[in-house]
């Protein structure tokens, strides 16, 4: 399943906005993990479904969120 991973200093804001974009793109949430430290957080979000845009487009939208950095996308389409 497609998965994005990113780092952020504002995990609550970043996750909320990433989930808003996920819904807007027509995907369903499969997994979400947030590992937080004193300075930032690592977020991993896996999604499924036939979205209205390709997974890469969703990832580009998330990458445009100001508080998100160091992002990667895995497009493994096998569950």
pLDDT at 77: 53
Domain boundaries, the chain: 3-74
**5-27 pLDDT per residue, tens:** 999 999 999 999 999 999 999 99
Q: How far apart are CA 77 and CA 64, in angstroms?
A: 23
The domain made up of 3-74 has a fold known as Alpha-Beta Plaits (3.30.70)
Mean pLDDT of the 50-56 span: 93
Q: Which residue has the tokens 């793109």?
A: 25
**In the beta sheet, which residues pair with residue 69?**
7
* Global confidence as pTM: 0.89
pLDDT at 35: 98
Mean pLDDT of the 33-53 span: 95
Query: Do residues 22 and 58 touch, judged by C-beta distance below 8 A?
Result: yes
């Amino acid at each position: 399943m497609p998965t994005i991973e990113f780092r952020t200093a504002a995990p609550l804001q970043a996750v909320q906005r990433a989930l808003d974009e996920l819904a807007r793109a027509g995907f369903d949430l499969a997994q979400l993990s947030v590992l937080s430290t004193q300075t930032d957080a690592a977020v991993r979000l896996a999604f499924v479904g036939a979205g209205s845009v390709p997974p890469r487009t969703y990832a580009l939208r998330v990458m445009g969120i100001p508080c998100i950095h160091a992002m990667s996308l895995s497009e493994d389409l096998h569950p």
